[in-house]
Amino acid sequence: MHVRLFKPSVGQEELDAIADVFDRAWLGLGPKVAAFEQAWAEYVDAPAALGVNSATAALHLAVTALDLPPGSKVLVPSMTFVASALSALYNGLDVVFVDCDPETLQMDLDDLERRITPETRAVVAVHFGGYPVDMPRLMEIAGRRGLKVIEDCAHCAGGRLDGRALGTWGDLGCFSFEEKKCMTTGDGGMLVARDPALVERVRPNRWLGIDKDTWKRQTGYTAEGADDARHWHYEVAEAGYKYNMNDLAAAIGLVQLKKLPAMNARRGALIARYLDGLADMPGVRPLLPYQPDAGHAYWIFGVRVEAGRRDDVIRHLKARDVATSVHYMPLTLHPLFAAHAGATPVAESLWHEMITLPLFPDMTDEQVDYVVDALKEAGAARAPV
Ligand X SMILES: Cc1ncc(COP(=O)(O)O)c(C=O)c1O
Residues that bind ligand X (CB under 6 A): 54-56, 80-81, 83-84, 126, 152, 154-155, 176, 178, 189
Choice between 126 and 172, CB closer to ligand X: 126
- Amino acid making up residue 227: D
Q: How far is the CB of 180 from ligand X (least distance, A)?
A: 7
Question: Of 32, 73, 148, 181, which residue is the catalytic one?
Answer: 181
Nearest-CA neighbor of 357 among 299, 312, 306, 308?
299
45 Ramachandran zone, left/alpha/beta (phi>0; psi -120 to 50):
left
Q: How far is the CB of 71 from ligand X (least distance, A)?
A: 25
Q: How far is the CB of 150 from ligand X (least distance, A)?
A: 11
CA separation for the pair 328, 305 (Å, rounded): 15
Choice between 181 and 316, CB closer to ligand X: 181
Q: Dihedral, CA atoms, 335, 339, 343, 349, nearest 10 degrees? A: 30
Nearest-CA neighbor of 153 among 178, 176, 177?
176
Q: Provide Rg for the chain, Cα atoms.
A: 22
Q: How far is the CB of 169 from ligand X (least distance, A)?
A: 16
Residue count of the chain: 385
Give long-range contacts, CB 8 A cutoff, 24+ apart: 98-104. Answer: 98/123, 98/344, 99/343, 99/344, 99/345, 99/346, 99/347, 100/128, 100/344, 100/346, 100/347, 100/350, 101/346, 102/346, 102/350, 103/289, 104/131, 104/288, 104/289
Choice between 44 and 55, CB closer to ligand X: 55
Choice between 166 and 374, CB closer to ligand X: 166
Choice between 300 and 343, CB closer to ligand X: 300
- Distance (Å) of CA 225 to CA 59, 162, 217, 222: 40, 49, 14, 8
Count Cβ atoms below 10 Å from residue 338 Cβ, excluding itself.
Answer: 9
Q: How far is the CB of 249 from ligand X (least distance, A)?
A: 11
Q: How far is the CB of 52 from ligand X (least distance, A)?
A: 9
- Report whether 250 contacts 187 (CB < 8 A): no
Q: Can you state the angle between helices 247-278 and 365-380, rounded to 10 degrees?
A: 50
Residue 212 designated active-site = no
Q: How far is the CB of 219 from ligand X (least distance, A)?
A: 29
Choice between 125 and 375, CB closer to ligand X: 125
Choice between 18 and 62, CB closer to ligand X: 62
Contacts of 134 (CB under 8 A, 6+ apart): 106, 109
Pairing between strand 160-161 and 148-153?
unpaired
Instruction: Provide the annotated active-site residues.
Output: 181
